[in-house]
Structure 1
Amino acid sequence: MRNNKVALIVVDALRFDTACSHMGFMQHLIERKMAARYEVCSEVPSLSRPLYETILTGTPPIVHGVTSNMTVRLSVQNSLFHLAKSNGLTTAAAAYYWVSELYNRAPFMHMEDRLQFDTQLPIENGLFYFEDHYPDSHLFADAVWLMDQKQPDFLYIHPMNVDDDGHKFTSDSLQYRNRVLAVDALLSMFIPKCMAQGYEIIVTADHGMTRDGNHGGTTAEDRHVPLFVISNYVKAGIKNGIVSQLQIAPLCCHLLNIEPSEEMVPLLLEGVHALKKA
């Protein structure tokens, strides 16, 4: 069996309903039967650092122990980066510095850790930013550089501007909605590049955003996020029902064709096909 390449894109604070109404390119892929869309309910607390860890390890906060944004330490779980490396695959990330603190080095040293290229680390090739307003356009350009120059098997991309505008202006604002339009436009340029290089592509979010300009609670505004999958191994179309965020990590393992960790739940997503032999 061959290994696939996977690009996992986590758009920070992208609500499910706003993704459905404002991401025209992603809807185009669905209508052309090139993408699947699921509705995901995040774990709680619906905060960024705990849910980065949940997405990348497939474990809930009570298990992985990162229960707030103030928990600054390396992960003690088997993340997708660790699993990829143990299977001889290469890893890369263009992401917020909290991701580096979870998997490479903690605490993050701002003047030293922005660029990380070390094959001994779980994230072998890392371009990390530390300002929430770091432009998404630059972040996707960083990801393209990693894809072209390092050709990672597992590439993690994490833009922050949707979250930044949600906190500044609330989810019920033209700024938030326009930022979702803007990230969709960036995806319309980035995703074809990924497809041309043979990546299976996942687009999701850690949590949502409320009309109060925050997140962390239990409402659908806080917790319901999209999951788009562009893969020959996932049947295209809009899926009914709500799925657990814990499904994302085992889905990545399935698409990478590696064994999930013992802590991950079984993969139960509708429409997922078995991988074909090389």
Structure 2
Amino acid sequence: MSNNKVVLIVIDALRFDTACTHMGFMQHLVERKMAARYKVCSEVPSLSRPLYETILTGTPPIVHGVVSNMITRLSTQTSLFHVAQQNGLTTAAAAYYWVSELYNRAPFVHMEDRLQLDKELPINNGLFYFEDHYPDSHLFADATWLLDNKQPDFLYVHPMNIDDDGHKYTADSAQYRNRVLATDGLLSLFIPKCLAHGYEVIVTADHGMTSDGNHGGTTNEDRHVPMFVISNRVKPGIKDETVSQLQVAPLCCYLLNIKPADDMVSLLVDGIRPTAKI
């Protein structure tokens, strides 16, 4: 079976409950039997850099060692970018600069590393931002440029404005909820382009946000995030089970039709349709 192409969108700090109540376009896809919706429980600590690494390598913080936002170094694990490259696939990312520090270069040099177009790096085509208020509209425009001009097999997209507003105003605020609405509107423009280009799409988050305007703890508000999957290889509808965040990486490998890295867990997600062996 030939390889499929996948877009993984990780929306920073998008809570599960707010996604369910304020993402009308994503819910429309679920109701029209175009997408599956899952509840994902993040690893802990529910912090950004550790969970970027967890999502992209399929390993928990105690294994990958990135247990704090203050750890700045390249990953020691085999990420989705690495395993895609090992299988002859091309990769790209429009993302926060911590993603570059995990997989391309560390530390990030702000005046040199924003644009990284290098086929020898795990992220072959990287457009990286370094301010939390960098507009999500610009980020999705960056991702669209990568989609149109580089046509990567695996594209990682990582907007930050929901997290930024959550820290400024808390999750119990009109600003946070309105930002979720705005991001849903951007997805309504971006996802149809992905589908027109023949991509499978996963939309999820690293962690949630609390009414204190923070995250890092063990509550449902910290840890429960959504995962929407748009693929003819996953049965659509609302799934009742809570999925481990460790499942995101092997799910991406399944959709890419490549073998997962050795340290990734077995894929155990409800609704997976049988496919030919890799």
Report the counterpart of residue 24 of structure 1 in structure 2: 24
Q: CA deviation at 1:195?
A: 0.2
Percent identical among aligned pairs is 80
Structural RMSD (CA): 0.7
SS of 1:131's equivalent?
coil
SS of 2:13's equivalent?
coil
Q: CA deviation at 1:258?
A: 0.3
Q: CA deviation at 1:241?
A: 1.9
Partners of 1:135 and 1:275 in 2: CA distance: 39
Unaligned runs of 5+ in 2: none
User: TM-score, normalised on structure 1?
Assistant: 0.99
Report the counterpart of residue 147 of structure 2 in structure 1: 147
Partners of 1:174 and 1:79 in 2: CA distance: 36
The letter of the residue matching 2:79 is: S
Partners of 2:11 and 2:186 in 1: CA distance: 11
Partners of 1:98 and 1:145 in 2: CA distance: 21
The letter of the residue matching 2:39 is: E
Partners of 1:221 and 1:163 in 2: CA distance: 13
Report the counterpart of residue 237 of structure 1 in structure 2: 237
Aligned length: 277
The letter of the residue matching 1:75 is: S
Report the counterpart of residue 203 of structure 2 in structure 1: 203
SS of 2:218's equivalent?
coil
Q: How far does the alpha carbon of each residue in 1:121-149 deviate from its partner, in whole angstroms, 9 at most, with x for none?
A: 00000000000000000000000000000
Report the counterpart of residue 10 of structure 2 in structure 1: 10
Report the counterpart of residue 98 of structure 2 in structure 1: 98
Report the counterpart of residue 223 of structure 2 in structure 1: 223
Off by >3 Å, runs of 4+ in structure 1 = none
Cα gap change, 1:276 to 1:189, in 2 (>3 Å): farther
Q: CA deviation at 1:3?
A: 0.1
- 2:56 maps to 1:56: yes
Q: CA deviation at 1:276?
A: 5.6
SS of 1:9's equivalent?
strand
Partners of 1:264 and 1:145 in 2: CA distance: 31
SS of 1:175's equivalent?
helix
Partners of 1:241 and 1:104 in 2: CA distance: 35
Partners of 2:139 and 2:215 in 1: CA distance: 23
Retained in 2: the 8 A contact 1:257–1:275?
A: no
User: TM-score, normalised on structure 2?
Assistant: 0.99
The letter of the residue matching 1:26 is: M
Report the counterpart of residue 264 of structure 1 in structure 2: 264
SS of 1:39's equivalent?
strand
Q: CA deviation at 1:274?
A: 2.5
1:185-200 to 2 correspondences below 5 Å: 185-200=185-200
Report the counterpart of residue 110 of structure 1 in structure 2: 110
